[in-house]
Amino acid sequence: MDASIARRRFVQVVAGSSTIALAGCVGGDDDADDGTGDDPNGDGDDPNGDESSGEGSEGFIYAFAPNTIAIIDPADGEIVDEIADGLDDEGWGDPRITADYGEIYVTRESPSQVLVIDTERREIVDEVDIGPDPTHMYHPNDDEMWAHSDGEGTFYVIDTDSHDVTEIVESGLENEGHGKLLYHEDLGSTGYATNVNDPGVPVIDLENYERSEFIEFADVDDQGTHYKAYSPETELAYFEFGDETVVVDSESYEIVDRLDFAGGMYLSPDEAVLGVLDGNSIRFLDATSEESEEHGVVDVDEGPDALRYHEAEDGTLYAFTAHTQTDQASIIDVEDLEIVETVDIGDIERPEDAHHLHRSGVAGGGYFITPADADGIVAIVDMEAQEVVDHVEVEEGVDTVQFVGDSGGGYSGTLR
């Protein structure tokens, strides 16, 4: 442990009367950002063009490996810095960058904590104790990070100024289970949680830090909810529930549809297309359609994951997906519903006892960035040129990446 990090003793007292800035209401971030990173700052500057103000990390990639966090300049394909102090065979969960890109929060499996990294100083500045088995983390407003404790089925709300846990929000009905949070600026102070143990969706009051309601999908006890997405155009929320996708009207909380496929869901930057990972296929739905009409299906056959979009200069929408079964990524023309290119992105570990394989990937700075833990590299793909520009050697086990800038990540497709 880094002795300079004051993690040993802290207490957070609930400030029950604190007002929470609603998601998207304060930061002024462009929810419609497509996440491709063409202009992450929105000011027209090249993200890598100016490093004059201190060390900084703008436009860089933080790659999380067991014993190091490598800071990669994707333009040069080089590691510009490393953070290794206090890291020892870590298991990483979600990283999440603040709206101002000043800090990256990343969940650490053991001890169950959230590490706070100052992107300007490129160092870990705090370790925040949270509940057991944290995986996902969300940033529904500028002032808070919500880290989900799968061991408790709760969200630990971390103040981004003080780095204190200010609230613990009970989400899952059974006080445990892997969970996620769906939020969007259009949803106001309402969020929807998923939990693999719950046969429905807990509605979370983001302002009052409580589970206000539960939308039940079925009277069963052997299925739960997992992936989620939201279409602001139709105000429909999509939830993976067993082998189907349940579509819920976010206004009335009524179930309006049940789609007979399910998987990870990724909204395009223009919020018009919703890609659903359905086994070895990717289904592209019309996110503007009340009926969730399907544009078509693309068979990838090699375990597509980590779907990210890029709108080319000619206006064509491409989807980039990293394979879990091969060392490649496919580039899909969404309009033509065909794979137009495959690129070598390195290989991942495939443990025999793994229930399912996962491969992360983000978009940012015009790059599709995905780690390959078996090869210990981070692959950087130029999304416009549709070619690999570098395989940056980091460390075996590197499995998580975060772009400093607008990565357009998250299952909803929003910035946060």
Residues that bind another protein (CB under 8 A): 1, 7-14, 16, 88-89, 110-112, 129, 131-132, 151-152, 154, 156, 164-166, 168, 175
The per-residue DSSP string of 187-247 comes to: GTTEEEEEETTSSEEEEEETTTTEEEEEEES-S-SS--EEEEEEETTTTEEEEEETTEEEE
Q: How far is the CB of 20 from another protein (least distance, A)?
A: 16
Nearest to 327 by CA among 343, 341, 338: 343
* Distances in whole angstroms, Cα of residue 44 to Cα of each of 41, 47, 136, 148, 372: 7, 9, 31, 35, 32
Cβ proximity to another protein, 12 vs 360, nearer residue? 12
- The residue among 1 and 25 lying less far from another protein, judged by its C-beta, is 1
Give the residue with the Cβ less far from another protein, 11 or 44.
Answer: 11
Supply the minimum distance, in Å, between the C-beta of residue 176 and another protein.
10
> Closest distance between another protein and the C-beta of residue 212, in Å?
18
Nearer to another protein, 164 or 235 (CB): 164
Report, in angstroms and rounded to the nearest whole number, the Rg of the chain calculated over CA atoms.
20
Q: How far is the CB of 193 from another protein (least distance, A)?
A: 17
Q: Which amino acid is at 413?
A: G
Q: For 282, how many CA atoms within 13 A lie in the half-sphere containing its CB?
A: 32
Quick one: 89 or 219, whose CB is closer to another protein? 89
CA–CA separation, 100 and 2 (whole Å) = 26
Report helix, strand or coil for 128: strand
- Smaller CB separation from another protein, 8 or 356: 8
Q: What is the smallest separation between the CB atom of 412 and another protein, expressed in angstroms?
A: 28
CB of 131 to another protein, least distance (A): 7
- Which positions ≥6 away from 127 have C-beta within 8 Å? 1, 5, 7, 108, 113, 114, 115, 116
Residue 108: Cβ within 10 Å count:
19
Q: Which amino acid is at 24?
A: G
Q: Least distance to another protein from the beta carbon of 113, Å?
A: 9
- Which C-beta is closer to another protein: that of 132 or that of 188? 132
Q: With CA atoms as reference, report the closest residue to 367 among 144, 77, 147.
A: 77
Instruction: For residue 187, report the phi and psi dihedrals to the nearest 5 degrees.
Output: -85, -5
SS3 of residue 185 by DSSP: helix
Query: Among residues 28 and 111, whose Cβ is nearest to another protein?
Result: 111
Nearer to another protein, 7 or 121 (CB): 7
Tokens of 75: 């333009």
The nearest distance, CB 143 to another protein, in angstroms, is 17
Least distance in angstroms from the C-beta of 124 to another protein: 16
Q: Which of 363, 60, 19 is nearest to 167 (CA)?
A: 19
